[in-house]
Amino acid sequence: MRKKLIAGNWKMNNDVEESLKLIKSLLTSELNEDVDVLICPAFTSLYPVIHELKNSSIKVGAQNMHFEDKGAFTGEVSPSMLKSLGVEYVIIGHSERRQHFGETDKIINKKIKACLKHGLKPILCVGESLEQREAGIEKETVRAQLIKDLDGVTDGLKIVVAYEPIWAIGTGKTATSHQANEMSSYIRAVLADIFTVDIADNILIQYGGSVKASNAKEIMEQSHIDGALVGGASLIADEFIKIINY
C-alpha cells in the first residue's frame, strides 16, 4: 500500500522568519493523517524548520545537494551535511536545476547514488517540455531520463519519482488528471523494467505542476499518482493545507 506524499517545494522563497510562520500554520492545523507531509525549504531555513518540527510527523527535505562528501566545492552542500541536520528527502533533478544550472542526467545519477549512500531519500524529478509533448515524444523523453538518472541504482524502494511536465510548472497550466495518470502509469512500467514489478509497484510517483486546492482531489484520486510536489501553492498556508486535506 503506497501512502501518499505531499511535498512543498518552497524554491528560493521564505527567510527564516517567514519559514517559521508558515510552519506554525501547519502545526496548528488539522492535517490529513493518510498523507505524509514534506516541506522542502531553502538551505538557510532547514535547521530552524527541522528544530520547529522535531515533535511533529511533518518531514523535511532539501531542494538540492552536491554528490561529493566534502571538498573544494565553494557554495555547495554535501549529503552528509544534510543528513547530520536531520534532513530525510532531497529533491534531485528539478527541471529548474536542469534548465538554469546545467544539471545533466549524469550529474543527477551521481546525486541519486550519493543520496542513497547517505540514507537520504531522493525525489527524482522527470518531465518533458512543451515542444517534446507537442512532438509526441513525451514518453520517450521521460523514459530516457529515468534510464540515465537511475543507471546502476539498486535501491529502488528508497526513491520517489515526481512527474513534472515542464510546461505545467509555475505556469498555472496543469496536466489533465488523465495525462498525469497516463504518464505515471508509464513511469511505473519503466521502473518495473529498471527494477522489478514488485519494486515498481511500491515506488511513490508524485505529480507536480500547478497543483492547487481546486485540482488536488482529482489529481490525488488517480490510480498511479501517490502524492504531489507543490511549488507556488505550498507558500500559502491555507492553500497548502487544503491540498493536504484534499
Nearest CB to ligand PEP, comparing residues 159 and 230:
230
Beta carbon nearer to ligand PEP, 53 or 123: 123
204 lies in the site for ligand PEP, by CB under 6 A? no
> Sign (positive/negative) of CA torsion 80, 37, 167, 170?
negative
Which one of residues 181, 232, 239, 240 is an interface residue with ligand PEP (CB under 6 A)? 232
119 binds ligand PEP (CB under 6 A): no
Residue 173 touches ligand PEP, criterion: CB under 6 A:
no
| Contact of 58 with 19, CB cutoff 8 Å | no
What burial class does residue 108 get, using C-beta atoms within 10 Å of its C-beta: 0-12 exposed, 13-18 middle, 19+ buried? buried
Which residues have C-beta within 8 Å of that of residue 76, sequence separation ≥ 6? 65, 66, 68
**Do 80 and 68 meet the contact criterion of CB atoms below 8 Å apart?**
no
Among 79, 93, 127, 231, binds ligand PEP (CB under 6 A): 231
For the chain, the straight-line distance linking the first and the last C-alpha, in angstroms and rounded, comes to 19
The one among 164, 187, 200, 220 contacting ligand PEP by CB under 6 A: 164
42, 53, 82, 211: which one binds ligand PEP (CB under 6 A): 211
Could you give the 3-state DSSP secondary structure of residue 15? Answer: coil
For the annotated catalytic residues, the residue numbers are 94, 164
* Contacting residues toward ligand PEP, per CB under 6 A: 9, 164, 169-170, 208-211, 229-233
